[in-house]
Structure 1
């Protein structure tokens, strides 16, 4: 049997690269990602230091950084921008909007409301400072969408409320690069 040192070195390099390229799932704790991010050293291969840098830039918990809205010919749109991996999102009709944590009523007028929850997620960084740059409470004058509010950043859940005068018919989906959640609320075409 012949030994091939170059093949053995190649195989060892592939295994090392695979081990260095392992990522931490979004549900892992911040301390686990910090330990991986800090594991690079000056003598580490370039791919290891690049991986460590990427670990520092991608948060372990999804960060909700903005909410936007817009009117289109046949729908109104809400877009929620996320830094990190998009968390699960739920959208459900509710009788009224309340702030998470306090239970105080959200002062948006409407007869119909949607509650949008992203979890696990946060709108603040590890130091407790807000990273959210969007509206906190806003009246909107679109055909369907009449208001939008950030209703919570509490216990790993970021929530929003949307207000409508008539019952909304909507479609929800996620877009990537950058990560964002989209909610389209249909209305009759006004561009004809």
Structure 2
């Protein structure tokens, strides 16, 4: 009889566990509910520019954490996907890529409110274009008549990526 008590305890434990498991609906998780987290992919929502006494400024507004940004000089601008040339005036161009980033939300609706293709009329910066939004990469292009001397930096609260392009003193648009 002494051997039946441990076996009875084990059997009672198994039945109790099975009974508790049966009260949890199928597909329900025992993990605590998560609150809605901020998106991991930054959203590019705007591009804007302005002229100053010694430089033109291009600002790219981002919602979420600032993604990695690459700025490089290229001989021509092309639309991502199609490869078609971007019809901006200028002889020199900067290709700007943000990744991971998107210019649309999870439902595919555009969140980018900036220009798709525009001439600026500024002393150095001649035009800006959104050249791509595909597979976590947002691409923009900037056009110039002369080789751009520029510096880049980020600003926070809200998140912004800034390119300052030098031009001769006293030149204003």
How high is the TM-score relative to the length of structure 1?
Answer: 0.71
Superposed, which structure 2 residues align to 1:43-58 within 5 Å?
52=35, 55=37, 58=38
Greater radius of gyration (CA): 2
The answer to whether the Cα contact below 8 Å between 1:91 and 1:115 also exists between their aligned partners in 2 is: yes
2:131 corresponds to which residue?
Answer: 151
State which of 104, 107, 111 in structure 2 corresponds to 1:124: 104
Q: Distance in 2 between matches of 1:150 and 1:87?
A: 17
Deviation of 1:73 (Å): 0.6
Q: Distance in 2 between matches of 1:181 and 1:61?
A: 16
Q: Map Cα deviations across residues 121-176 of structure 1 (whole Å, 9 max, x no partner).
A: 00000001100000000011111000000000011100100000000000000111
Q: Map Cα deviations across residues 15-51 of structure 1 (whole Å, 9 max, x no partner).
A: xxxxxxxxxxxxxxxxxxxxxxx925xxxxxxxxxxx
Structure 2 residue 33 is matched with structure 1 residue 39: yes
Q: Distance in 2 between matches of 1:148 and 1:122?
A: 18
1:64 corresponds to which residue?
Answer: 44
**Count of residues in correspondence between the two structures:** 141
RMSD in angstroms over aligned alpha carbons?
1.5
User: 1 or 2 for the larger relative contact order (CA 8 Å, sep ≥6)?
Assistant: 2
Q: What are the ranges of 5 or more consecutive residues in structure 1 without an aligned counterpart?
A: 1-37, 41-51
Greater share of strand: 2
Q: Distance in 2 between matches of 1:186 and 1:153?
A: 28
State which of 148, 165, 168 in structure 2 corresponds to 1:185: 165
1:25 corresponds to which residue?
Answer: none
The answer to whether the Cα contact below 8 Å between 1:59 and 1:83 also exists between their aligned partners in 2 is: no
Q: Distance in 2 between matches of 1:122 and 1:171?
A: 24
Q: What are the ranges of 5 or more consecutive residues in structure 2 without an aligned counterpart?
A: 1-31
Q: Distance in 2 between matches of 1:182 and 1:135?
A: 16
1:97 corresponds to which residue?
Answer: 77
Greater share of helix: 1
Structure 2 residue 66 is matched with structure 1 residue 86: yes
Runs of 4+ in structure 1 deviating by more than 2 angstroms, as ranges, are none
